[in-house]
Structure 1
Amino acid sequence: MFVCLCKGVSDRQLKQAVTDGANSWREVRIETECATQCGKCACMAKAIVDDALAQKFEDFDLAYAV
């Protein structure tokens, strides 16, 4: 689904940015330009990115658990 209509950014693109190495909302914003125009999408986009980051770090912790 499109999250940012101004820049045409989808939830998949936000999640992909995290998969590709972004480690913060700021890095995702820079890469996708999401929420850089009108800003109405910022809360939803940040929630999607936060979930993706949590999953990324959870998977990392499980992979390297001793």
Structure 2
Amino acid sequence: MFVCLCNGITESQIRAAASTGISTLEELTEHLGVASQCGQCGAMAQAVLEEGGGMAIPEDRFYAAVRPA
């Protein structure tokens, strides 16, 4: 779902940014440009950002394929 129509920023992009450690609307604006034009998306972007880190995959779920020696 699009959150910021002016810049074409989606909910999944905001969630991905949250998973990298971005935690404030100011950081999100600097990183993605969300809420930098008309500002109408600021409240929605903030709400997605606050819940966004929960969508990240925990580090212990990552694995690397290992080739036998």
On whether the aligned pair clears a TM of 0.5, the verdict is yes
Structure 1 moving runs of 4+ over 4 Å: none
Any unmatched runs of 5+ in structure 2?
59-69
Give the length in aligned residue pairs: 56
Rounded to whole Å, the distance in 2 between the matches of 1:28 and 1:9 is 11
Q: Would you say 1:16 and 2:1 are equivalent positions?
A: no
CA-based RMSD of the aligned residues comes to: 1.8
Rounded to whole Å, the distance in 1 between the matches of 2:35 and 2:25 is 11
Structure (1 or 2) with the larger CA radius of gyration: 2
Any unmatched runs of 5+ in structure 1?
60-66
1:1-66 superposed matches below 5 A? 1-53=1-53, 55=54
TM-score normalized by structure 2? 0.70
Rounded to whole Å, the distance in 2 between the matches of 1:47 and 1:23 is 11
Rounded to whole Å, the distance in 1 between the matches of 2:14 and 2:32 is 7
% same residue: 34
- Is the helix fraction higher in 1 or 2? 1
